[in-house]
Structure 1
Amino acid sequence: MTSTAPDNSRNRADALPKSWNPGEVEAEMYERWVAAGYFTADASSDKPTYSIVLPPPNVTGSLHMGHALDHTLMDTLSRRKRLQGYEVLWLPGMDHAGIATQTVVEKQLAVDGKTKEDFGRELFIDKVWDWKRESGGTIQWQMRALGDGVDWSRDRFTMDDGLSRAVQTMFERLYDAGLIYRAERLVNWSPVLRTAISDIEVKFEDIPGELVSLRYGSLDDAQPHVVVATTRVETMLGDTAVAVHPDDPRYRSMIGGTIEHPITGRQIPIVADDYVDPEFGTGAVKITPAHDPNDFELGLRHNLPMPSIMDERGRIVGTGTEFDGMDRFEARVAVRERLAREGRVVAEKRPYVHSVGHSERSGEPIEPRLSMQWWVKVESLAKAAGDAVRDGKVVIHPPSQEPRWFEWVDNMHDWCISRQLWWGHRIPIWYGPEGEVICVGPDESAPEGWVQDPDVLDTWFSSGLWPFSTMGWPDNSTELEKFYPTNVLVTGYDILFFWVARMMMFGMFVAEDSAITAGKRADAPQVPFHDVFLHGLIRDQFGKKMSKSRGNGIDPLDWIKEFGADALRFTLARGAQPGGDLSVGEPHALASRSFVTKLFNATKFALMNGARPGELPARAALTDADRWILDRFEVVLAEVDSAFDAYEFGKACEALYHFTWDELCDWYLELAKVQFAGDDARVESTRVVLGNVLDAVLRLLHPVIPFVTEALWQALTGGASVVVATWPQPSGVPADADSERRLVDAQQLITEIRRFRSDQGLADKQKVRARLDGLDASGLGELRAAITNLARLTDFEPGQESTASLEVRLSGATVVVGLNTEGSVDLEAERRRLEKDLAAAEKELAGTAAKLGNDAFLAKAPENVVDKIKARRDVAAAEVERIGVRLAELAAR
C-alpha cells in the first residue's frame, strides 16, 4: 500500500510552486539574503577568515560572459566557505576606468557640440561624477541578478576618498624610494584620445597595408645607395640612421659611413646591429627611434638623435618639409608619391597583411611616440613578485601558467603610469616657480603658487592596490587585520600580467607596513593573496572565440531571463577547469536547466512521500538501497571537496551532476518508490535516508546553484536559509561492500532486461510476463520487488512458457530471465523498424569500410581519425549481426 506522508512534509511540498520558474523568485530571494545580512562580514568574529576581492569591473561596463564566469566561480568559493564555518568577506567594487569613462562623457558633450575644454577641468570632472551617480554601475544590479553574495556594505570605488588616499600614499612612497621617475620614452599613443595608453588597451589586428621598398642615397647605381622596406613610409621623415647586420658582407664597407636621406638631404649614419635580420628583405632597415619600439632601443644603443615628427593628434610637425601639418595617413600617401616621382620607390606590395596595434577604446591604429611621461622602475618590484611564487608564498593554479608568469616578471620593462586625461587620480607632483619639484602626500599641501602636474595615473595603478586599499590601507583597520591578505584571486589568464603582477608588486612593496602587519605573526608571508586561480576564456559551442564581428557573443542577462541564473551558473562552473578555455552554447544551458528541473521535481516528489532529514536508524535496519545511496554520497562528498579545494570546478560539478541525476534520481528514487509502497517500518527509514541525502546534496549544490537549492532546502528542512547552513561532513561509517555489490548487480540486471525488452520491440512502460531464475542464488532475493518493478515485469500465469530469454552474468551467479511476449509486440511494425535500422547500419558499415580500404586516405589521415573510423565500422558490423538475428527470430514466429 502507499504510505501517507507526514502533514508537515506534505505542507512544505505544497508550499513549492507547481514547477520551477526562476524569473518569479530569484530577485526577491536575493534581496532577502542581502536584507538578512548573510553576506555582510563581521570583522570582530572569532571564526576563521576567508576573503576574496572582486576584480573591479569598469564603472562604464555591463555584465558579459567573462564577468559571469568570474563571478560564478568567486561566489561558489565564498558560499562554500560560508557553509564550512568561515567568516567570509567577498568585497565588491568598481574601477573608475579613466579612458573609458572620460570618453563616454566627452561623447555626450559632443552631441551638443561641446568639448571638455569648453568647461575646464574642474567643471568637466563634476560632470563625470554626475554621470557616475546617474548612469554608472549598471553592472551592480546585474551582479544581483546573477546571485553574487558580495558584502554590499563594503562596496568600494577606486576614486573614493579612502582609495584616493591610498593611491597618493603609494605614489609618495615609491617616489621617495627612487622607484618613480619622469623621462622621455616611447609609449603607445592614441592620437584620437591624445594620451598614452597601456599595453592591455592595445589590440593587434591583421590588416591589409602596403610594403614599400625605398632607395636611400644616390640614384646612380655606381654611387653609395641602400634599399630599405617599410609599411609606414611617413615615418622616414624621422629617420636618423640605416642599420645593417655587422656580418652582412653586402654592407660591410658602408658601416660607419653615412648616406643621404631621400627627402631632407641630411647625411645619416649606417650602423651595425645584431637586431637586423640579414635574410629579411634587403638586409637593411631604416631607423626611426621616436616612432618604433625596436628602433628606439637601437637608437639608445647607438646614441642616435630621436626627433619626434608627429604631434599629439598624429599630424606631421617639425620636419621642415611640405608634409608638415598633414595627418599621418595623408602624409603616408604624399611621401610615397613624391618618392615615386623621384624614382626612389623600388617596389610596392599591396595588399600587405600585417599586424597593427589598435586602441581598444577609440579604434584607431596606435602610434609609438616619444613622450615625456612618469614611470615606475619595476626591476626590484618584479623580482619580489617572482620570488613570491618561487618561494611558494603565492601558488598559481594551474602550475602550467607559472612559466608565463616568470617570463613576464623576469623580463618586465618599466611601467608608464601617466595618462594625459582629466578623469582619474591626479599625479601628486607639484612644480615651483624656479623649476622645483616636490611630491605631495595625502596629509600634505603644496606651497602657494606651485602648479600640479596635469596628468593622471594609469587606472592599473589604483587597481594594483585593490586588495589592501579597499580594506583601509594605509591606515590601520580591523578589516586589514582580519581579512588581509586575501585567500585567492580569481581571474582570467589573459590579464595575469597586467593586473595580477601589479597587485603582487605593490603588495610585496608594502609588506612590512605597520597597517599590513598589525595583528599578524612575524613570519606570516605578506602577500596580497595566497592562491591565484586562472581560468580560461569563454568560447562559443563550436570552440570559436566570442566577438562582436562574428556575432557569436552571448549576453548572460539573456540567458538568465530564458534559463534562470542557476542554469547559467551551472553551465559556466561545469565547464571551468584551471587554465582551460570553455565552450558554451544554448545546448549547454538547456542541459543545465533540465538538471535544475530534475532536482526540483525529485525533491518535490520526495516531500510528497514524507521525506525529511533526521537521525538515521541503525545500519542493520536499512535496506541495501538505503545503505548504497548513503555510501555513494560519502564517495561523492570526498570527490567534491577534493575538486573544490583544487579549484577544479568542472570536476566537482560533474560529480554532483552524475550523482544527483544518475544515482539519486534515476536509481535511488525509483527504488524508494518501491520501498514507499511497502507496509513495514523501513518506509520511515527510507523517508529519513532520502531526506538526509537530499538535504546534503542541496547543500553541496548550493554554492553553484543557490536559488533553487534555497527554495528546496527550506521546504525540505524548514530551516531559515541554506546560505547559513553547514557544509556536509563525512559520516565516518564504513562503507557496506556487500550492499554495493548487490545494488550494482541489480542495476546491471535491470539494465540488461531493459535493453533486451527494447530489442524485443516492447514499449518502455509496457508490462511483460517474466520469470527470474537464480535471483536468490545471486543474493538479490530481497530486491526482487524492486527489480520486477523497475524492469516492468509481472509473474507468469499458470502454464505460460518463455518466448524469449536472456542470461545475465552477475558477480555471484547467473540470472536467467524468461519473457513471454505473446500479444505484446506488433510483429509487422517491429519488422519494419528493424529493417530500417538494418539499412542504416549497412550504410554505415559500407561507408567506413570504403574509407578504410582507401590507401590514399589512410596515408594522409591522422592515426586517431583512422581509429575512430575503425571503431565505427566495428559498431556497425555488430549492429548488422544483431539486427539480422532479431529479424530471423521474427520470421520464425
Structure 2
Amino acid sequence: MEIASKYDPSQTEGKWYSYWMEQGLFQSSPDEREPYTVVIPPPNVTGVLHMGHMLNNTIQDILVRRARMLGKNACWVPGTDHASIATEAKVVNKLREEGIVKTSLTRDDFLKHAWAWTDKHGGIILEQLKKLGASCDWDRTCFTMDEVRSQGVIKAFVELYNKGLIYRGVRMVNWDPKALTAVSDEEVVYKEVDSKLYYLNYEVEGEPGAYVTIATTRPETILGDTAVCVNPEDERFRHLAGKRVLVPLLGRAIPIIQDSYVDMEFGTGCLKITPAHDINDYEIGMRHNLESIDILNDDGTLSEAAGLFVGQDRFAVRKDIEKALAESGNLLKVEPYKNKVGFSERTDAVIEPKLSTQWFLRMGDLAKPALDAVMSDEVQFHPPKFKNLYRHWMENVKDWCISRQLWWGHRIPVWYLNDGSFVVAETEAEALEAARLQSGNAALGLDALRQDEDVLDTWASSWLWPITVFDGFNPDKKEIDYYYPTSDLVTGHDIIFFWVARMIMAGYAFKGTFPFKNVYFTGMVRDKQGRKMSKSLGNSPDPLDLIATYGADGVRVGMLLCSPAGGDLRFDESLPEQGRNFSNKIWNAFRLVKGWDVSESAEQPESARLAIEWFGERLQQEMAVISDHFSKYRVSDALMSVYTLFWDEFSNWFLEMIKPAYQQPIDARTHAAAVAYFDDMMHLLHPFMPFISEEIWQQLSPRKSGESIMVSQMPAQRAFDSELLQSFDLVKEAIQHVRTLRKNRNVPMREALELKVLTGEDGYVARYNPVLTKLVNLESVTVVKEKEAGAESFMVKSTEFFVPLAATVNVEEELEKLQAELKYTEGFLNTVMKKLGNERFVAGAPEQVVANEQQKKADAEAKIAVLKERIAGLQ
C-alpha cells in the first residue's frame, strides 16, 4: 500500500469518525468493568461552537479516550440546555422580524414557535463537536426540556416543596426590564460606570426655607420615596425627630425616621428611603412599617404610581427630572461619581431591584454538606485554589429565586384555586385530586384550577443534570446505580456557583452523595494580547475554520499547548499550526519506518539491539510521568510529555539509531521492534490526536474489520531501569559533543574519526560504543590512561574524550576557548561554594537540595582540574 507523501486530515477525519460511529465504539452500557462517567456541560441550544467549547470538550475527550484505553467502561453523555432567557429572546426577535408580537400569541402558540426554533438550531453545536472528534455516546443525547429531564425537574420541585425547602414570598429581586423576568444574584454582573451624584433639598413641612439635603445617583426614584432617614446618634439632625419633609416636585409629605443603618460619614448623613426600588431601603421600610410605592413598570418605564413622567423610560426620566428639579429650586448641585451598577448577564440591561412575588429555594441546609464535601476533598477541585472561592460563595449563600416570568422553560408545578390557595403536584390530574382533598369539594373540576404562569430558572434543571441524564428520579431505572456518581467534571470556573456548587447540593439532596469525584476547571480563552475573545473585538476565530485549516488533531494540540488548568490561556494561530507541524512529523516518521526494506536474513546490529533496549526503558519512564500528570489533572503537561517523547526520543534518537545504511535493508527483528514501539506511541498519542493515531495504527499492522485503536489497551506499565537510562544519557551527550566538534571543525560525516576516552570517576559505559560509533561515524573507540596532546577534547561529567585533529587545531583559538570555559566554571564553583558556606542554607534546605549542590561542587572541581591540565598541555 502506497503511503501519501503528506498527511491530509481532510481525507482521514471524516472517514474515521464515521467508522467509529458505524461500529458503535462510543456506546456504553453497564457491565462488569469499572465505569468512567463524564457528563457534558450542556451548551445552550442557542449556541454555536466557540473557543471555550473547543478547549472544554477537547479535555473531556482526552480523559474519556484514555479511560477507554485503560480498560474502563467510558460513558460520555452529551446534551444541550434549553437556556430559558437566551432562547426566548431569540424566538421573540425572530417573531418580531416576522411582524409578530409575543403578547399577541397564546402561551401554546408561542411554545410551538420556540420548539420549532429549537428543533432547527438546537443540535448544531453537537454536530460541530463531532468535527472535533468528541467521542460522546450520541445515543444518550439529552435535552434539559425533553420528557425524561422535565419529569425529573418536576419531581425534584415537588420533593423539595414537600420537605419545606421551597416557598412563595414577596421579596426584592433582580429584575431584567429587557427580558421581563427576575434573575438570580449570580446572573447580575457589576460594572463600574461614570454616574452623577445629585444633591437634592427636601423642604421641612411647615417650615418654609428649612431643608434637609440628600445625595442620590437615581433622582427619578424620588417619586417613590416614603421617608428620609438619619442616624439616631447624629447630633446634626436631632431637631428633626418626628418631623416630615416634602418630596420635591410632588409635595407629598413623608416622615423623617431614625435608623442606625445610616452612615453618618457618608454623603450628607441623610438618606432617602424608596422601599420598592432598593434592597437596603426595603429592609429599612420593613423595620419601620413604611409604605412601598412601585414607580416602575416591568419594562423599565414609569408607572401610574409615579405621578409624573408616566410611560417614559427610566433613563430618559433621569435627564428630564434633573431639569425639573433645577427649575423647582430643589437641585443643590451635581457631581461626577463612579459607582458599580448591576447588569443582566443575559441581556446587558441595567438591573432594577423590584418587589415581586416569586418562588424561592432555601439554600442554607442544602449548602452545608456540599461545602463540607469540597473542603474535605471528598470532591476534589483541580486546581485546588478554587476551593476558597467556593467556600466564600457557600458560606454567604442566599435563598435562590427559582421562578422566571417566561414561557420557555419548565412550568412551575403549582395550581391555584379560586380562593387563592394552591396545591403542588407533578401532574394536572394529581393537582386536581389534591385540590379536591384540600377544599373538601369532591366535585371540583379542572376549570377551578389555574397553573402558575412562571417557569423555573434554567439552572433548576441543569443542577440535576448528572442525575437526570440517567433518569435518576425513576425508581425503575437501574443505570444510575452503575454510572453515578460520575467521575470527572470539566467546566469553566466562571460557573462555579451557578452550576458546580448547585450540582453538588443536588447530589447530596437527592442521591445522598456527591455527583462527581473531580472537577477540572479550565481557564478562559484569550487572544495573544490577553483580551477576552468576543465577536465585537473580532479576535475570536471560527473553530470550524481552524479545523479545516489545521485539522482537528492540530487544533486540539494547539489548544492544549497554552492551557494550564484553571489559568487563562492565550491563543493565536501559531499554536494549531504547531499542532499541524507535529502531525506532519508523526506522518514523516511513519513513512520512514514503513518505507524501509525488511530482510529476514540480515543480522541485527548491536547498535540496534542497544537502541531497542534503551527505548523500551525510556518509554516506561515517560509513561510513569504521563500517568502522574493525569493523576494530577495536568493534561497539558501530559501532552508535552508525549510530544517530546515522540519528537525528540523516538524520532530524533531511536529511529536514527536503528536506521539502516543508505539503500540497505533493515533486519526483521529491529523493524518489528520499531513497529511495536510506533504502535505504543500511537496509543499514548491517541487521546490527544485521535484521527492521525487511528490512521497510522490501522496501517502499521494488518487489522480486522471493527478493530480500532480507541478500544485497544494502553501499553502495560512496569518498573524501568533508571541506571541504564542515566548511562545512556551520557552516551547521548557524547554524541552531541562529537557532532558539534564536526560542525565547528568542518569535518564531514563521511570522514571517520578516532575517539579516545579517559574514564572519569563516574565511569564510562563501553557497551554503548556501537551506538556512538554508528551515529557519529567513528573508526575506533579506545580507552586511554592519560591525556593525548594536540587532540580536540570535550567532557561528559568527569570523563574526557579526545579526537585527534592536530592538523586542524588552532592552538591560540583553543587556548582562548579553554580559558573562557575555565573562568566560567570557576565562577560557577564560587556561587556553589557561597551557598554551601551559608549555614542557614545548609541547615534549612531539604537534604536532596543540599546533596545536589554538593554534587555540583564535585563536578565543577573535576572539570576545573581537567581544563587546567588541557591548558597546560597546549601551552
**TM-score band, normalised by the shorter chain?**
0.7 to 0.9
Q: What code does the residue aligned with 2:486 have?
A: T
Counterparts in 2 of 1:73 and 1:253: CA distance versus 1, 3 Å: farther
Cα displacement string for residues 561-598 of structure 1 (whole angstroms, at most 9, x for unaligned residues): 11111122122234333322222211222222212221
1:109 and 2:95 aligned: yes
Say whether the 8 Å CA contact 1:211–1:229 is kept in structure 2: yes
Cα displacement string for residues 752-787 of structure 1 (whole angstroms, at most 9, x for unaligned residues): 344445555x59x87566442228997465655654
Counterparts in 2 of 1:817 and 1:172: CA distance versus 1, 3 Å: same
Counterparts in 2 of 1:366 and 1:619: CA distance versus 1, 3 Å: farther
- Report what 2:814 is aligned to: none
Aligned pair count?
783
Distance in 2 (alpha carbons) for counterparts of 1:795 and 1:137: 68
2:276 alignment partner, SS class: helix
State the 1:220 CA deviation: 12
Say whether the 8 Å CA contact 1:805–1:816 is kept in structure 2: yes
1:368 and 2:380 aligned: no
Distance in 2 (alpha carbons) for counterparts of 1:290 and 1:652: 56
- Report what 2:712 is aligned to: 725
Q: What code does the residue aligned with 1:139 have?
A: I
- Report what 2:492 is aligned to: 492
Cα displacement string for residues 834-880 of structure 1 (whole angstroms, at most 9, x for unaligned residues): xxxxxxxxxxxxxxxxxxxxxxxxxxxxxxxxxxxxxxxxxxxxxxx
Q: 1:36 aligns with which of 8, 23, 26?
A: 23
Distance in 1 (alpha carbons) for counterparts of 2:662 and 2:258: 90
State the 1:692 CA deviation: 2.8
1:670 and 2:656 aligned: yes
Q: What code does the residue aligned with 1:421 have?
A: L
Counterparts in 2 of 1:805 and 1:353: CA distance versus 1, 3 Å: farther
1:510 and 2:510 aligned: yes
- Report what 2:585 is aligned to: 598
Q: How do residues 583-732 of structure 1 correspond to structure 2 at under 5 angstroms?
A: 583-609=570-596, 623-673=609-659, 683-719=667-703, 720-732=707-719
1:396 and 2:378 aligned: no
Q: What code does the residue aligned with 1:471 have?
A: F
State the 1:69 CA deviation: 1.3
- Report what 1:846 is aligned to: none
Q: How do residues 339-488 of structure 1 correspond to structure 2 at under 5 angstroms?
A: 339-350=325-336, 352-442=337-427, 444-446=430-432, 447-449=445-447, 450-476=449-475, 477-488=477-488
1:543 and 2:526 aligned: no
Counterparts in 2 of 1:818 and 1:494: CA distance versus 1, 3 Å: farther
Gaps of 5+ in 1: 1-10, 513-525, 797-801, 824-893
Q: 2:77 aligns with which of 88, 91, 101?
A: 91
Counterparts in 2 of 1:348 and 1:371: CA distance versus 1, 3 Å: same
State the 1:546 CA deviation: 2.0
Gaps of 5+ in 2: 433-444, 782-787, 810-875
1:175 and 2:161 aligned: yes
State the 1:97 CA deviation: 1.1
CA RMSD of aligned residues (A): 3.3
- Report what 1:239 is aligned to: 225
Q: What code does the residue aligned with 1:212 have?
A: Y
State the 1:435 CA deviation: 1.7
Distance in 2 (alpha carbons) for counterparts of 1:21 and 1:688: 26
Counterparts in 2 of 1:672 and 1:270: CA distance versus 1, 3 Å: farther
Distance in 2 (alpha carbons) for counterparts of 1:253 and 1:625: 97
State the 1:425 CA deviation: 0.8
Counterparts in 2 of 1:716 and 1:679: CA distance versus 1, 3 Å: closer
Counterparts in 2 of 1:693 and 1:228: CA distance versus 1, 3 Å: farther
Cα displacement string for residues 300-320 of structure 1 (whole angstroms, at most 9, x for unaligned residues): 444443321101111111435
Distance in 2 (alpha carbons) for counterparts of 1:808 and 1:247: 86
Is the deviation greater in 100-109 or in 354-363?
354-363
Distance in 1 (alpha carbons) for counterparts of 2:221 and 2:807: 88
Counterparts in 2 of 1:282 and 1:232: CA distance versus 1, 3 Å: same
Q: 1:528 aligns with which of 515, 535, 550?
A: 515
- Report what 1:862 is aligned to: none
Cα displacement string for residues 259-317 of structure 1 (whole angstroms, at most 9, x for unaligned residues): 33223333434455555444443344333232223433444444443321101111111
Q: What code does the residue aligned with 1:712 have?
A: I
Q: What code does the residue aligned with 2:385 have?
A: S
Distance in 2 (alpha carbons) for counterparts of 1:163 and 1:436: 28
Give the fraction of aligned pairs with identical amino acids, expressed as a percent. Answer: 37
Counterparts in 2 of 1:300 and 1:78: CA distance versus 1, 3 Å: farther
1:444 alignment partner, SS class: helix
State the 1:747 CA deviation: 2.0
Cα displacement string for residues 786-816 of structure 1 (whole angstroms, at most 9, x for unaligned residues): 54664578899xxxxx999642112462112
- Report what 1:864 is aligned to: none
Distance in 1 (alpha carbons) for counterparts of 2:498 and 2:381: 15
Distance in 2 (alpha carbons) for counterparts of 1:293 and 1:444: 38
Q: What code does the residue aligned with 1:42 have?
A: S
Say whether the 8 Å CA contact 1:674–1:786 is kept in structure 2: no
Q: What code does the residue aligned with 1:555 have?
A: D
State the 1:701 CA deviation: 1.6
- Report what 1:834 is aligned to: none
Say whether the 8 Å CA contact 2:262–2:269 is kept in structure 1: yes
Distance in 2 (alpha carbons) for counterparts of 1:684 and 1:301: 91
Say whether the 8 Å CA contact 2:188–2:343 is kept in structure 1: yes
Cα displacement string for residues 649-706 of structure 1 (whole angstroms, at most 9, x for unaligned residues): 12211211221112112222211225898889xx444323322322222112211111
Using structure 2 for the length normalisation, give the TM-score.
0.83
Cα displacement string for residues 705-758 of structure 1 (whole angstroms, at most 9, x for unaligned residues): 1111111122224342111010222134x4162x43442222222323444455
1:773 and 2:749 aligned: no
Cα displacement string for residues 372-395 of structure 1 (whole angstroms, at most 9, x for unaligned residues): 111111111112321222444322
State the 1:346 CA deviation: 2.3
Counterparts in 2 of 1:372 and 1:635: CA distance versus 1, 3 Å: same
Counterparts in 2 of 1:770 and 1:618: CA distance versus 1, 3 Å: closer
Distance in 2 (alpha carbons) for counterparts of 1:786 and 1:41: 48
Say whether the 8 Å CA contact 2:405–2:455 is kept in structure 1: yes
Cα displacement string for residues 196-229 of structure 1 (whole angstroms, at most 9, x for unaligned residues): 1234443333433322222233599996533332
Q: How do residues 776-795 of structure 1 correspond to structure 2 at under 5 angstroms?
A: 779=764, 783=768, 786-787=771-772, 790-791=775-776
State the 1:37 CA deviation: 0.9
Say whether the 8 Å CA contact 2:561–2:575 is kept in structure 1: no
2:54 alignment partner, SS class: helix
2:541 alignment partner, SS class: coil
1:580 and 2:567 aligned: yes
State the 1:410 CA deviation: 1.7
- Report what 1:515 is aligned to: none
Counterparts in 2 of 1:408 and 1:320: CA distance versus 1, 3 Å: closer
- Report what 2:65 is aligned to: 79
Q: What code does the residue aligned with 1:427 have?
A: I
Cα displacement string for residues 68-111 of structure 1 (whole angstroms, at most 9, x for unaligned residues): 11111111111111111111111111111111112212211111
Q: What code does the residue aligned with 1:448 have?
A: L
2:305 alignment partner, SS class: coil
Counterparts in 2 of 1:591 and 1:804: CA distance versus 1, 3 Å: farther
State the 1:416 CA deviation: 0.9
Distance in 2 (alpha carbons) for counterparts of 1:736 and 1:372: 70
Cα displacement string for residues 382-409 of structure 1 (whole angstroms, at most 9, x for unaligned residues): 1232122244432222222112111111
Counterparts in 2 of 1:63 and 1:298: CA distance versus 1, 3 Å: farther
Counterparts in 2 of 1:332 and 1:768: CA distance versus 1, 3 Å: farther
